[in-house]
């Protein structure tokens, strides 16, 4: 799935989509490893690694334990757009069988802290 921020968004917070340990943290991306062993990658924008961290503010570090909804990185959407890049933010489920990942409603509006998806227990 991917989240496409509003054109007038300003600075947005990217939060941990699941509880777990921050396995990797970069200004433009992070991975949360859930206690079940599944990971979720959040990549703020497309090709934003080229911005060398400029429009991002880190609020957590590799190894930190986070709860779902904890702020990890803030992104200045206007600065990303001004650099000619897309702020579309993929949220990628890793290390999970496709049939265990529930479908997500396309085109739905979301706000920081909204539940994007849930995994069934035991999957």
The one catalytic residue among 26, 34, 43, 59: 43
Residue 43 known to be catalytic: yes
Query: Encoding tokens for residue 55?
Result: 């429009």
β 2-3/56-58 pair status:
unpaired
Which of 21-43 are b and which e, b meaning 16 or more Cβ less than 10 Å from the residue's Cβ? ebeebbbbbbbbbbeeebbbbbb
Contact 27, 56 (CB under 8 A): yes
Closest CA to 50 of 18, 72, 79: 79
Q: What is d(CA 92, CA 85) in angstroms, rounded to the nearest whole number?
A: 20
Q: Which residues are catalytic?
A: 43
């Amino acid at each position: 799935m991917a989240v496409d921020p509003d054109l007038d968004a300003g600075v947005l917070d990217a939060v941990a989509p699941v509880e777990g340990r921050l396995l990797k943290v970069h200004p433009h991306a992070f991975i949360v490893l859930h206690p079940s062993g599944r990971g979720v990658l959040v990549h703020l924008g497309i090709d934003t690694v080229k911005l060398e961290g400029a429009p991002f503010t880190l609020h957590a570090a590799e190894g930190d334990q986070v709860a779902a909804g904890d702020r990890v990185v803030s992104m200045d959407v206007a600065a990303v757009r001004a650099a000619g890049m897309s702020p579309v933010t993929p949220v990628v489920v890793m290390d999970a069988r496709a049939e265990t990942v529930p479908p997500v409603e396309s085109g739905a509006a979301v706000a920081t802290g909204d539940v994007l998806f849930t995994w069934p227990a035991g999957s």
